[in-house]
Chain A
Amino acid sequence: MKSVTVELPNVDVQRKLFTTRFKADKTSHLSIRDVDVCRECKDKPCLWFCPAEVYKWEDERITIAFEGCLECGTCRIGCPFDNIDWRYPRGGFGVQYKFG
């Protein structure tokens, strides 16, 4: 993986997500198929390309903050091992854009 040489600002994505309206369901619409696959995954690009930083690597496993998911689907396409079980939230739940 190429490292970026330019300086990048620190961004608190939670502050951005605070501007977005969500109606969170009780259970996650996202799940990891096989936790061992993530352990073997060297780059873990999901920690980077997700625009809501839904995925974090904590205590040797991926955690999923599905409540802030923007439902773009990038992780489903971008996971190099097709290891994310991706569904839409139940009808009516999830992100609710005011402007779009």
Chain B
Amino acid sequence: MPEKFDAIVVGAGPAGITAAYCLARDGLKVVMIERGEQPGTKNTMGGVLYRQMLDEVIPGFWKEAPLERHVIDQQWWLLSEDSAVKFGHRNSEHDKEPYNAFTVLRAKFDRWYAQQAVKQGALLITETVVTRLLRDSAGRVIGVETDRPDGELLADVVIVCEGANTLVLEASGIKPKPRADAMAVAVKEVISLPREVIENRFQIQGDQGAVIELFGDPTLGMVGNAFIYTNKDSLSVGLGAMISEFQRRRVHPHQLLERFKQHPVVAPLVAGGEIKEYMAHMIPEGGYEAMPPLYGDGFLVCGDAAGMVIAVHREGSNLAITSGRLAAETVVEAAEAGDFSARKLSAYREKLEQSFVLKDLRQYRHLTPMMERSPQFLGVYPGLLNRALQEFLTVDGVPKRQKEKQILRRILKERPVTALLGDAYRMWRALG
């Protein structure tokens, strides 16, 4: 007879660890199953972790968690082949406790976070792959099957936090395989540099951090972007785009990353650095429309597995944490009532509806499809903007009125007035 738990959590990432932490804290018998050697060894992201959502789970976590830097400087750069138009925001409020966001390296962070769940009483099983959900004759989920011999575990409820690769949900008939236009692939390098070099190049000091998102040329206009984040003594430098975009181009993601690092505005930032690690991961960017069912008889779905990513705001781990917390809250209520039916567990969706998670996902529901239909946003505008500023800022004796006319003519040549108006309307609609 397999061992029976109150709850099984599939996957030790931000969603799963949060769920396990909250359930164990509230006295439930919970097991978290992770396929890696340790929590974190399979996990990666660009690297920005927002404070608020984790603070609601472990108040003041930043005082002890292995974080890299707190973000005080955020920039967005639009790149042409050889130039950049830069926007940015630096804020001294973000330099004070409790802080707004941190850069993190997930192998270190997830390991620490999982340890906190274990301290609360959660059981952690590593090096074990969950292959599918087990159901009873009525179709209710009653446990999981793993790749271990006699590897079945039973529970009142299973919280699926398996991440972007939704193999368990698919094998269990809960969702179909995602489409290539709903998934992005990103590659990243951790590049080591001396602390003081990083602090000089990014104008930060102490534990202050800077992050840059870059659009346009880095992805050759494909829907996606590049990023540069500062860690303590390394940079996280990466780039991603929709898989459907890569299907159409004869280009390797790592080739684009190499090209990006050679871009004249990027090269000085990474110069002299040594690659410490190369990695890749998928991001579910299909948004609200691509989300699977979030609950059913005996199961709940959180985080990336549920498609909870808001690509335009670089948010994902924070949605994962909040969804894990709300799933645990729902399971605690279900345990009190002794009822794990879909009807009872539907409270999870209601909680998500009342939180920023589904509100934000719904607001941006049209953005990814719109961007995929409108290659001009990342393919044409960054270049146009760069050329316009170059022309305007080059002092060469040409009268300003004449320059303005030239700039306008060039813009209208590439995007006629009707197209410009259409684009403005599309973007306004998609941003809700």
Contact = CB atoms under 8 A, between A and B. Distances in A.
A77 B129 contact: no
A97 B43 contact: yes
Given A74-B282, A100-B40, A3 B252 contact: no
Main secondary structure of the interface of B (DSSP, over half): mixed
A58 B253 CA distance: 21
B383 to A, nearest CB: 12
A73 B248 CA distance: 18
Which among B127, B189, B247 has the greatest number of chain A C-beta atoms within 10 A?
Answer: B247
A49 B36 contact: no
Looking at chain A's contact residues, is the secondary structure mostly helix, strand, loop, or mixed?
A: loop
Contacts of B258: 9, 11
Contacts of B259: 6, 8-9
A37 B61 CA distance: 52
A27 to B, nearest CB: 13
Interface in B292-346: none
A52 B280 contact: yes
B242 to A, nearest CB: 10
Contacts of A2: 248-250
B177 interface: yes
B94 interface: no
B73 interface: no
Nearest to A43: B247
B254 interface: yes
Given A16-B254, A99-B190, A91 B105 contact: no
Given A9-B262, A72-B281, A77-B178, 9 more contacts: A2-B250, A4-B249, A13-B254, A16-B254, A48-B251, A51-B187, A51-B253, A70-B280, A74-B280
Contact of A72 (B177, B276, B282): B282
Nearest to A23: B37
B180 interface: yes
A13 B40 CA distance: 23
A48 B280 contact: no
A87 B35 CA distance: 12
B148 A91 contact: yes
A99 B108 contact: yes
Interface of B: 35-37, 40-45, 81, 105-110, 126-129, 146-148, 164-165, 167, 177-180, 183, 185, 187, 189-190, 220, 234, 243-244, 246-256, 258-259, 262, 275-282
A43 B248 CA distance: 9
A3 B107 CA distance: 37
A73 to B, nearest CB: 4
Given A88-B129, A92-B127, A1 B250 contact: yes
A26 interface: no
Interface of A: 1-4, 6, 8-9, 11, 13, 16-17, 19-20, 23, 43, 45, 48-53, 70-74, 76-78, 80, 82, 86-88, 90-92, 94-100
A76 to B, nearest CB: 7
Given A20-B279, A92-B36, A95-B42, A100 B105 contact: yes
Given A53-B252, A97-B279, A91 B164 contact: no
Contact of A48 (B146, B164, B177, B246): B246
Contacts of A98: 107, 276-277
Contacts of B36: 92, 96
A69 B234 CA distance: 24
Given A74-B282, A99-B108, A1 B277 contact: no
A51 to B, nearest CB: 4
A23 to B, nearest CB: 7
28 contacts: A4-B249, A11-B255, A11-B258, A13-B252, A16-B254, A16-B278, A20-B278, A45-B246, A49-B253, A51-B187, A70-B279, A72-B280, A73-B282, A74-B280, A77-B243, A78-B243, A78-B247, A88-B35, A90-B147, A91-B129, A92-B36, A97-B106, A98-B277, A99-B106, A100-B43, A100-B44, A100-B45, A100-B106
Contacts of B262: 9
